[in-house]
Amino acid sequence: MKQVILTGDRPTGRLHVGHYVGSLKRRVDLQNSGKYDEIYIMVADAQALTDNAEHPEKVRQNIMQVALDYLACGIDPEKSTIFIQSMVPELTELTFYYMNLVTVARVQRNPTVKAEIKMRNFEASIPVGFFCYPISQAADITAFKATEVPVGEDQMPMIEQCKEIVHKFNSVYGETLVDPKIVLPDNEACLRLPGTDGKAKMSKSLGNCIYLSEDPADIKKKVMSMYTDPNHIRVEDPGQIEGNSVFTYLDAFSKPEYFEEFLPDYSGMDELKEHYTRGGLGDVKVKKFLNNVLQAELAPIRERRQMWEKRPQDVYDILKSGSEVARAKAAETLADVRRAMKIDYFENDNLFK
Ligand code: TRP
């Protein structure tokens, strides 16, 4: 069987370091492993519109931003197909058929949807489209016959729901759809990178993100004011690692060579944590180290982004030709689906049968 990756992001803002360690970095590694026959990276504008119906211009503006972030991270248009979801209308038709295989109660149980409804104060008036987006996400994944879906942990319920739809479809209409596997980061800190304020999740609305396109001075400012252990007041005080954003970020980003380069007094994370816990290590020193690490990680990404920013026509062409390639593949799957459901009436006079 072909090895295929499909994944994507909603274009509601620039991507941040949480996206990077949670999924983007992994995608690039997988892309460069040479183990995949096809890789599709989708700018999920239709999904973004499910809770931005009144703001299509915001979604449109961010399509380019997300594409630039992808290219900046090292997604290579020669190896991966980058495309725009709504330019593949076959996905909408698949969604419509899959809707019949899912109950309202099942969608209501989806923990990510539940949390999002609460966060957006949708309780009293949920747009139907928003409510159904996990089903459309199953269409995205299956349309490309994806075997692997590299995403952040919050997407786990979507992949589970997708697998259920695949099983249901295949048992009702015969073996047609491919059962996908979720690929999560292997490092705990990367799974759930907190905001710079220590809150559970980075979010644009909370203003606690460090963006991939952030300039060096802003990175430094955000790191130096980051949430640590509120009880670690004097340098001598014993500090806590648990729930300390600075250490979570270091767990996500630091590499042995960064210690050699920026903090040679310490052999690595274990020694640094041990000293902090014991007392005698100040927050400023740890933050300065984190700043150096983040500057080193983000500089090449920012530079590559600036290079692509100067070539908007090339980015446009990548998205346009990528969407054409994606559409052709989704059309194949849609034909399989129609055949399996026996709604391919004008093929071989099937309507008469
Ligand atoms: N839900 C994803 C997000 O919030 C975007 C997305 C849409 C997606 N369809 C997908 C991710 C299919 C992986 C697979 O960013």
Report CA-CA distances (Å) from 307 to 15, 64, 83, 315: 17, 14, 20, 11
Q: What top-level class would CATH report for the domain 4-192+312-352?
A: alpha beta
Is 44's C-beta closer than 6 angstroms to any atom of ligand 1?
yes
Beta-carbon-side half-sphere exposure of residue 254 (alpha carbons within 13 Å): 28
Q: How many Cβ atoms sit within 10 Å of the Cβ of residue 129?
A: 15
In ligand 1, the atom with minimum distance to the C-alpha of 158 is 1
pLDDT digits (tens, 9 = 90+) for 147-201: 999 998 889 999 999 999 999 999 999 999 999 999 998 888 888 899 999 987 8
| CA 329 to centroid of ligand 1, rounded, Å | 18
| CA 156 to centroid of ligand 1, rounded, Å | 10
pLDDT digits (tens, 9 = 90+) for 1-58: 999 999 999 999 999 999 999 999 999 999 999 999 999 999 999 999 999 999 999 9
Is 183's C-beta closer than 6 angstroms to any atom of ligand 1?
no
In ligand 1, the atom with minimum distance to the C-alpha of 6 is 14
Is 95's C-beta closer than 6 angstroms to any atom of ligand 1?
no
Q: Which of helix, strand or coil describes residue 181?
A: strand
Is 51's C-beta closer than 6 angstroms to any atom of ligand 1?
no
Tell me the domain boundaries of the chain: 4-192+312-352, 216-307
Beta-carbon-side half-sphere exposure of residue 260 (alpha carbons within 13 Å): 3
Is 163's C-beta closer than 6 angstroms to any atom of ligand 1?
no
- Report the pLDDT value the prediction gives residue 119, as an integer from 0 to 100: 81
Is 137's C-beta closer than 6 angstroms to any atom of ligand 1?
yes
Q: Distance (Å, rounded) from C-alpha 234 to C-alpha 3? A: 54
Q: Distance (Å, rounded) from C-alpha 46 to C-alpha 11? A: 9
Q: What pTM value is reported for the model?
A: 0.95
| CA 22 to centroid of ligand 1, rounded, Å | 13
Third-level CATH fold of 216-307: Tyrosyl-Transfer RNA Synthetase (1.10.240)
Q: Of all protein residues, whose CA lies closest to atom 2 belonging to ligand 1?
A: 9
